[in-house]
């Protein structure tokens, strides 16, 4: 098959993939409210708790998490407000985001070879890792890094939801270690999950910084785009190198000292990020169980 043929074949496919993406349900208002809350550090717990209580599914997950053995609170936590005080702002925001994204992309079919639980652990791990990097490198908005980490792979979730069989085949194609995820997706769909995610980010009017993280996290251009975007790029690699969560990729990405330097991160600071991430391992497990 000549290049021209392959090109026009893909062009047709991309168009149909994009039109399917545009039919996905818009994320609930709660997601936008949470994103707003993140960009406004002054927003009080009272305001956030009001947003949470408007959403019964979110409220019940909040209670489930607060009553999980991980926290080991002595008495049963009965009210959402109490749960939120005990869990803290960061966890409340993460749970709100996780639940709204989960609902948007929920697909009840089990896919052979696709570890959905592991995928969610990957999102949370990248969020926590990016936040730690942002703090270590003294970035202005570590919370934005956390949010960006949780949603950086929404393109992947969208492709899984819309094209489950093709997505499972993509994972299968990665097994022999010859293709990257990006390459396998381009072969299957004509576009990769960064492009799919960027399309959704535009379609849903997500903030530019989040759009860039979604669009560039597998590309070293991320390091030049912005500091948060760079943090997500590094965090994604770090979590894969440590096998935190699952993505289906078998090629372990390299992490160079130039890349660390691009964000102004010393090797000592990186070691500290690693240590803090280890401490969060059981938190990630409990968090995930409460979303499911
Ligand atoms: Fe990705
Ligand atoms: Fe990722």
Q: How many Cα atoms within 13 Å fall on the side-chain side of residue 200?
A: 30
- pLDDT tens digits for 156-175? 999 999 999 999 999 999 99
Ligand 1 centroid–CA 131 distance in Å is 17
Phi, psi (rounded to 5 degrees) for 19? -70, -30
Ligand 2 centroid–CA 269 distance in Å is 22
Residue-averaged pLDDT of the chain: 86
Ligand 1 centroid–CA 156 distance in Å is 7
Q: Is-contact 198 204, C-beta < 8 A? A: no
Rounded-to-integer distance, Cα 268 and Cα 231, Å: 16
Ligand 1 centroid–CA 288 distance in Å is 19
Ligand 1 centroid–CA 249 distance in Å is 10
- pLDDT tens digits for 58-103? 888 889 889 988 888 889 999 888 888 888 877 877 787 777 777 7
- pLDDT tens digits for 26-47? 776 666 766 676 556 666 667 7
What pLDDT shows up at residue 106? Answer: 75
Domains of the chain: 3-291 (1.10.3210.10)
∠ CA 285-291-292, nearest 5°, is: 90
- Ligand in closest contact with the CA of 182: 1
Ligand 2 centroid–CA 241 distance in Å is 12
Helix and strand counts by DSSP (H, E) for the chain: 18, 0
Say whether pLDDT at 232 is over 50: yes
Ligand 2 centroid–CA 121 distance in Å is 10
Q: List CB contacts of 78: < 8 A, sequence separation 6 or more.
A: 63
Ligand 1 centroid–CA 47 distance in Å is 32
Ligand 1 centroid–CA 97 distance in Å is 18
Ligand 1 centroid–CA 218 distance in Å is 6
- Ligand in closest contact with the CA of 232: 2
Token pair 């995610």: residue: 197
Tokens of 80: 């959402």
Tokens of 101: 């994204």
- pLDDT tens digits for 171-196? 999 999 999 999 999 999 999 999 99
Ligand 2 centroid–CA 244 distance in Å is 11
Ligand 2 centroid–CA 149 distance in Å is 8
| Residues with Cβ–ion distance below 5 A, ligand 2 | 153, 236
- Hey, how many other C-beta atoms are within 10 angstroms of the C-beta on 207? 16
Q: How many Cα atoms within 13 Å fall on the side-chain side of residue 175?
A: 7
Q: Which of 44-58, 139-153, 181-195 is least confident? A: 44-58
């Amino acid at each position: 098959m000549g290049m021209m043929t392959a090109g026009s074949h893909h062009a047709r496919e991309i168009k149909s993939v994009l039109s399917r993406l545009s039919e996905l349900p818009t994320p609930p208002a709660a997601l936008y409210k949470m994103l707003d809350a993140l960009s406004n550090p002054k927003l009080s717990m009272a305001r956030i708790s009001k947003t949470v209580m408007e959403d019964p599914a979110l409220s019940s997950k909040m209670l489930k998490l607060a009553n999980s053995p991980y926290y080991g609170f002595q008495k049963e936590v009965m009210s959402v407000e109490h749960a939120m005080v005990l869990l803290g702002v960061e966890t409340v925001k993460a749970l709100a985001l996780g639940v709204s994204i989960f609902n948007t992309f929920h697909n009840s079919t089990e896919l052979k070879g696709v570890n959905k639980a592991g995928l969610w652990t990957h999102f949370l791990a990248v969020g926590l890792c990016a936040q730690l990097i942002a703090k270590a490198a003294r970035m202005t908005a570590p919370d934005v890094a956390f949010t960006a980490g949780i949603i950086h792979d929404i393109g992947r979730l969208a492709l899984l939801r819309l094209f489950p069989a093709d997505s499972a085949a993509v994972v299968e194609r990665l097994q022999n270690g010859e293709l990257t995820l990006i390459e396998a997706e381009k072969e299957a769909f004509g576009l990769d999950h960064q492009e799919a995610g960027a399309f959704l980010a535009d379609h849903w009017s997500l903030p530019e910084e989040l759009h860039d993280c979604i669009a560039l996290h597998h590309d070293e251009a991320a390091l030049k785009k912005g500091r948060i975007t760079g943090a997500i790029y590094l965090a994604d690699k770090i979590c894969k190198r440590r096998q935190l969560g699952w993505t289906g990729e078998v090629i372990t990405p390299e992490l160079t000292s130039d890349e660390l330097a691009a964000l102004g991160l010393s090797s000592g600071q990186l070691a500290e990020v690693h240590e803090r991430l280890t401490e969060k391992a059981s938190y990630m497990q409990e968090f995930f169980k409460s979303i499911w």
